[in-house]
Amino acid sequence: MRAVIQRVLQASVTVGEDVVGAIGRGYLILLGVGAADTEAEAERLWAKIRDLRICEDEAGKTNLSLVQTEGEVLVVSQFTLYADCRRGRRPSFTAAGDPAHARELYEYFAGLVRRDLGRVETGSFGAHMQVSLVNDGPFTIVLDTADL
Protein backbone atom coordinates (compact mmCIF):
# COMPACT_ATOMS: atom_id res chain seq x y z
CA MET A 1 0.00 0.00 0.00
CA ARG A 2 1.05 3.54 -0.57
CA ALA A 3 -0.04 6.62 1.29
CA VAL A 4 0.54 10.34 1.02
CA ILE A 5 -0.06 11.85 4.45
CA GLN A 6 -0.67 15.56 4.59
CA ARG A 7 -0.94 17.30 7.93
CA VAL A 8 -3.84 19.70 7.46
CA LEU A 9 -5.70 22.47 9.22
CA GLN A 10 -8.76 21.38 7.24
CA ALA A 11 -9.61 19.14 4.30
CA SER A 12 -12.69 18.07 2.40
CA VAL A 13 -13.69 15.94 -0.55
CA THR A 14 -16.55 16.75 -2.90
CA VAL A 15 -18.34 14.58 -5.45
CA GLY A 16 -20.40 16.66 -7.83
CA GLU A 17 -21.99 19.32 -5.63
CA ASP A 18 -21.93 17.24 -2.43
CA VAL A 19 -19.27 17.33 0.28
CA VAL A 20 -18.90 13.65 1.18
CA GLY A 21 -16.15 14.04 3.80
CA ALA A 22 -14.60 16.91 5.75
CA ILE A 23 -12.24 17.32 8.70
CA GLY A 24 -10.55 20.00 10.74
CA ARG A 25 -7.00 19.67 12.08
CA GLY A 26 -5.50 16.24 11.35
CA TYR A 27 -4.38 14.16 8.39
CA LEU A 28 -5.56 13.88 4.83
CA ILE A 29 -4.46 10.40 3.71
CA LEU A 30 -4.39 9.64 -0.01
CA LEU A 31 -4.39 5.84 -0.09
CA GLY A 32 -3.34 3.56 -2.94
CA VAL A 33 -3.82 -0.21 -2.87
CA GLY A 34 -1.46 -2.48 -4.80
CA ALA A 35 -2.45 -5.70 -6.51
CA ALA A 36 -0.65 -7.90 -3.95
CA ASP A 37 -1.63 -5.95 -0.81
CA THR A 38 -3.38 -7.67 2.08
CA GLU A 39 -4.95 -6.70 5.39
CA ALA A 40 -1.50 -7.10 6.96
CA GLU A 41 -0.18 -4.20 4.87
CA ALA A 42 -3.19 -2.09 5.83
CA GLU A 43 -2.59 -2.79 9.51
CA ARG A 44 1.13 -2.05 9.28
CA LEU A 45 0.55 1.18 7.35
CA TRP A 46 -2.14 2.46 9.71
CA ALA A 47 -0.02 1.61 12.79
CA LYS A 48 2.86 3.62 11.32
CA ILE A 49 0.65 6.60 10.44
CA ARG A 50 -1.22 6.53 13.77
CA ASP A 51 2.01 6.59 15.78
CA LEU A 52 4.05 9.01 13.64
CA ARG A 53 5.12 11.96 15.74
CA ILE A 54 4.55 14.69 13.16
CA CYS A 55 2.16 16.94 15.08
CA GLU A 56 3.50 19.96 16.89
CA ASP A 57 3.73 20.21 20.66
CA GLU A 58 3.37 23.48 22.60
CA ALA A 59 7.00 24.34 21.72
CA GLY A 60 6.38 23.91 17.99
CA LYS A 61 8.38 20.65 17.77
CA THR A 62 7.03 17.63 15.90
CA ASN A 63 6.80 15.42 18.99
CA LEU A 64 3.16 14.37 19.09
CA SER A 65 1.13 11.70 17.33
CA LEU A 66 -2.31 12.05 15.82
CA VAL A 67 -3.82 10.24 18.80
CA GLN A 68 -2.13 12.57 21.28
CA THR A 69 -3.50 15.65 19.50
CA GLU A 70 -6.96 14.13 18.96
CA GLY A 71 -6.60 14.86 15.26
CA GLU A 72 -9.10 13.93 12.60
CA VAL A 73 -8.57 11.79 9.48
CA LEU A 74 -9.91 11.99 5.94
CA VAL A 75 -9.01 8.97 3.78
CA VAL A 76 -9.31 9.30 0.00
CA SER A 77 -8.68 6.39 -2.37
CA GLN A 78 -6.11 7.17 -5.05
CA PHE A 79 -5.05 4.37 -7.39
CA THR A 80 -2.83 6.84 -9.26
CA LEU A 81 -0.23 6.42 -6.49
CA TYR A 82 0.65 3.24 -8.40
CA ALA A 83 1.38 5.06 -11.66
CA ASP A 84 4.33 3.58 -13.54
CA CYS A 85 5.87 6.30 -15.70
CA ARG A 86 9.05 4.47 -16.72
CA ARG A 87 7.97 3.90 -20.32
CA GLY A 88 6.43 6.36 -22.70
CA ARG A 89 4.37 9.33 -21.69
CA ARG A 90 1.16 7.66 -20.57
CA PRO A 91 1.28 6.13 -17.08
CA SER A 92 0.48 2.48 -16.57
CA PHE A 93 -1.59 1.45 -13.55
CA THR A 94 -1.17 -2.31 -13.78
CA ALA A 95 0.43 -2.49 -10.32
CA ALA A 96 -2.69 -1.01 -8.70
CA GLY A 97 -5.17 -3.40 -7.15
CA ASP A 98 -8.28 -4.24 -9.16
CA PRO A 99 -11.28 -2.18 -8.03
CA ALA A 100 -12.96 -4.90 -5.92
CA HIS A 101 -9.72 -5.74 -4.09
CA ALA A 102 -8.80 -2.08 -3.64
CA ARG A 103 -12.25 -1.16 -2.30
CA GLU A 104 -12.10 -3.99 0.23
CA LEU A 105 -8.70 -2.90 1.58
CA TYR A 106 -9.62 0.80 1.45
CA GLU A 107 -12.68 0.09 3.60
CA TYR A 108 -10.62 -2.16 5.88
CA PHE A 109 -8.07 0.65 6.36
CA ALA A 110 -10.85 3.15 7.13
CA GLY A 111 -12.19 0.66 9.67
CA LEU A 112 -8.81 0.55 11.40
CA VAL A 113 -8.82 4.35 11.67
CA ARG A 114 -12.39 4.27 13.03
CA ARG A 115 -11.42 1.58 15.57
CA ASP A 116 -8.58 3.69 16.96
CA LEU A 117 -9.99 7.20 16.66
CA GLY A 118 -13.73 6.62 16.84
CA ARG A 119 -14.36 8.49 13.60
CA VAL A 120 -13.02 8.68 10.07
CA GLU A 121 -14.18 10.66 7.07
CA THR A 122 -13.75 9.19 3.59
CA GLY A 123 -14.06 10.04 -0.03
CA SER A 124 -16.31 8.10 -2.38
CA PHE A 125 -14.40 5.09 -3.74
CA GLY A 126 -14.13 5.12 -7.53
CA ALA A 127 -15.82 8.49 -7.95
CA HIS A 128 -14.37 11.57 -9.61
CA MET A 129 -13.57 13.69 -6.55
CA GLN A 130 -12.36 17.18 -5.83
CA VAL A 131 -10.11 17.33 -2.78
CA SER A 132 -9.52 20.61 -0.97
CA LEU A 133 -7.05 21.14 1.83
CA VAL A 134 -5.12 23.65 3.82
CA ASN A 135 -1.75 21.96 4.36
CA ASP A 136 -0.28 22.66 7.79
CA GLY A 137 3.42 23.39 7.51
CA PRO A 138 3.30 22.31 4.71
CA PHE A 139 3.96 18.86 6.04
CA THR A 140 3.66 15.91 3.64
CA ILE A 141 5.03 12.37 3.99
CA VAL A 142 4.95 9.50 1.51
CA LEU A 143 4.89 5.93 2.85
CA ASP A 144 5.03 2.61 1.02
CA THR A 145 4.56 -0.64 2.91
CA ALA A 146 7.31 -2.18 0.77
CA ASP A 147 9.71 0.17 2.60
CA LEU A 148 8.35 -0.14 6.16
Find the catalytic residue in 79, 109, 122, 145.
Answer: 79
Three-state DSSP class for residue 3: strand
Round to whole Å and give the CA distance between 19 and 103: 20
Query: Is 80 a catalytic site residue?
Result: yes
Query: Is 68 a catalytic site residue?
Result: no
Please name which of 132, 4, 8 lies closest in space to residue 71, comparing C-alpha atoms.
8
The CA distances from residue 58 to 5, 64, 66, 108, in Å, are 22, 10, 14, 34
Query: Is 139 a catalytic site residue?
Result: no
Find the catalytic residue in 62, 68, 80, 130.
Answer: 80
Find the catalytic residue in 6, 14, 78, 122.
Answer: 78
Catalytically active residues are 78-80
